[in-house]
Amino acid sequence: ILIEGDNYHALSVLNYTHPKSIDVIYIDPPYNTGAKDWKYNNDYVDSEDPYRHSKWLSFVHNRLSIAKNLLKDDGIICVTIDDNEMPRLWCLLDEVFGENNHLGTVAIRNNPKGRKTERKVSLIHEYAIFYGRSVIAKVKKLEIAPEDKTHSYKQDTDGSWYLPVNLRKQGVDSLAVSAKGKTSDRYFPIYYDPDSKQISSKIKLKIKILPIDVNGQKRIWRRGKDAIDEMYQRGDLWCQETRNGLQVYFKFRGGLDGEPPESIWYDSKYSASEYGTQILDNILGKREAFQYPKSPYAVMECIKVATTNKSAIILDYFAGSGTTAHAVLDLNKEDGGNRQFILCTNNENNICTDVCYPRVQKVIKGYKNSKGDKIDGLGGNLKYFKTAFVGSEPTHRNKKMLTDKSVEMLCIKENTFEEVLNKPVPAGFKQGKAFHVFKNKEKYLAILLDEMQIDAFKKEIGKLRLPVSVYVFSLEGDDFREEFEDLKNKITLCSIPEAILKVYRRIFR
């Protein structure tokens, strides 16, 4: 989904359609460097403005406050920033999300050549700051290739990976005799035949091995007798002569579920100039269509840190050139996921119509790069919406207008976009639609705009085989529950526009 309009207004819409539904918010707000990169009250803020930090904080705070309502309880927001506003942003995020929900800050080497000035250190990095919606949010482990592990992982004949580990336990809770003098049932001999290589915990063979370390300390085995014999039968247990004598080893197959992300990302793929600007130029077929686009790989990594859900919804309300959409589509292609992106941006300097939208469209469908090579599309689909204003006075006319214009908003809320029926009002009445019916694979969305057509509306709903979300237009907030009593087990019922207005009243109070 791509929403063109002021992101504050777009976030207001999403507060109705997606409350506590977003897995990850990734934003790259204006860095407030003093260049003409953002406006406040329709004027560019320059470096000489004595209130530029205050204006920036107000601008970002308003949006963070209503965006927080969109995150799931375990959802995570990632905000990228550089030194210009880093100290103030950190304090602001502490205020909005809570100091205890700061999950870490990463320094990303996004500009290897550095930004050189006469007085300052050459800046080669920016920051990604992670906060959770609540205390149950946590960063996810990143996959590590076995060959990149610091441990000596080896590849088995079936292609799996394992780490050779001594079967004798070391460290905490490894002593065979407790402080009270009780001997553990894990202290027992393992028998070994050097000719046949047989190992057993039950059959007495030529050599007896006890879990005693080089200092003569009695330890315990990591596994019990039955498990040891099973490991030998699978080929996961063997004896090996070492400088400390004959030792028993086994194939440890854990430890490959990833490791926590580190606080410095140095890989060249995070470079904005090499993997941001060049990628965008190749897609659009023109140079510098957008200043400082992010590397999709940096955004992909931030999303991986925030969620492992392959059906996650990722929101970016400073969409810019659309890098977040590109990253989400790349991830879906990489692991067969079904993630959804929601982008919000205004159309300042035609950024939405000339850069963001065509970029996402080409990434989905495919394109020819600057060399004329055909690049296959990543697949997916895109819905493009625009925000518009409706009068705020609570008149019947404004309520009706809001309802008429909310059909697409309800489609977004219910994730149902395929229209299967729209019925016009009867001849002789004013023009318009009496009701709409949309569907997806799991349910229907039915919207009644003219209460005089309720009988015909109910008749159509009765034919539907899947659950139905029903929205009924009512000037006074009546959802006509009695009229739908006979369908109550099949439908969920809501009145509009009152449900929408409640959200707007809270936001714009």
Separation of alpha carbons 33 and 46, rounded Å: 8
- For the ranges 92-101, 149-158, 293-302, 468-477, the lowest mean pLDDT is seen at 149-158
The answer to whether residue 37 scores a pLDDT higher than 70 is no
Residue 311: other Cβ atoms inside 10 A: 11
The answer to whether residue 423 scores a pLDDT higher than 90 is no
Stated pTM of the model: 0.82
- Say if CB 313 and CB 339 are below 8 A apart: yes
The whole-number average pLDDT for the span 441-463 is 93
The whole-number average pLDDT for the span 474-493 is 90
Closest CA to 417 of 393, 434, 438, 392: 438
Cβ burial of 438 (10 Å; 0-12, 13-18, 19+) is buried
Q: Give the bridge partners for 438, in sequence order.
A: 419, 445
Closest CA to 31 of 73, 68, 85: 85
Separation of alpha carbons 503 and 399, rounded Å: 14
- Say if CB 74 and CB 136 are below 8 A apart: yes
Separation of alpha carbons 310 and 321, rounded Å: 24
Separation of alpha carbons 344 and 365, rounded Å: 21
| pLDDT confidence band for 273 (50 / 70 / 90) | confident
Separation of alpha carbons 57 and 78, rounded Å: 17
The answer to whether residue 45 scores a pLDDT higher than 90 is no
| pLDDT confidence band for 431 (50 / 70 / 90) | low
Task: Give pLDDT tens digits for 92-146.
Answer: 999 999 999 999 999 999 999 988 877 889 999 999 999 999 999 999 998 877 7
274-306 burial, b for 16+ CB within 10 Å, e for fewer? bbbbbbbbbbbeeeebbebbbbbbbbbbbbbbb
Q: What pLDDT score was predicted for residue 428?
A: 42
For the chain, how big is the Rg over CA atoms in Å? 31
The DSSP result for 82-139, as a single string, is: -TTTHHHHHHHHHHHH-GGGEEEEEEE---TT-B--SSSPPB--EEEEEEESSTT--P
Q: Give the bridge partners for 473, in sequence order.
A: 496
Taking phi over 0 as left and psi of -120 to 50 as alpha, with beta for the rest, 81 belongs to beta
What's the mean pLDDT when you consider all of the chain? Answer: 92
The answer to whether residue 317 scores a pLDDT higher than 70 is yes
| pLDDT confidence band for 261 (50 / 70 / 90) | very high
Contacts of 104 (CB under 8 A, 6+ apart): 130, 139, 261, 263
Closest CA to 127 of 172, 173, 170, 81: 81
Q: What pLDDT score was predicted for residue 254?
A: 79
Under DSSP, is residue 335 helix (H, G, I), strand (E, B) or coil? helix
Q: What pLDDT score was predicted for residue 38?
A: 67
The answer to whether residue 473 scores a pLDDT higher than 90 is yes
The answer to whether residue 193 scores a pLDDT higher than 90 is yes
The whole-number average pLDDT for the span 385-412 is 91
| pLDDT confidence band for 172 (50 / 70 / 90) | confident
- Which range has the top average pLDDT, 41-50, 74-83, 168-177? 74-83
| pLDDT confidence band for 151 (50 / 70 / 90) | low
Closest CA to 278 of 370, 145, 382, 381: 370
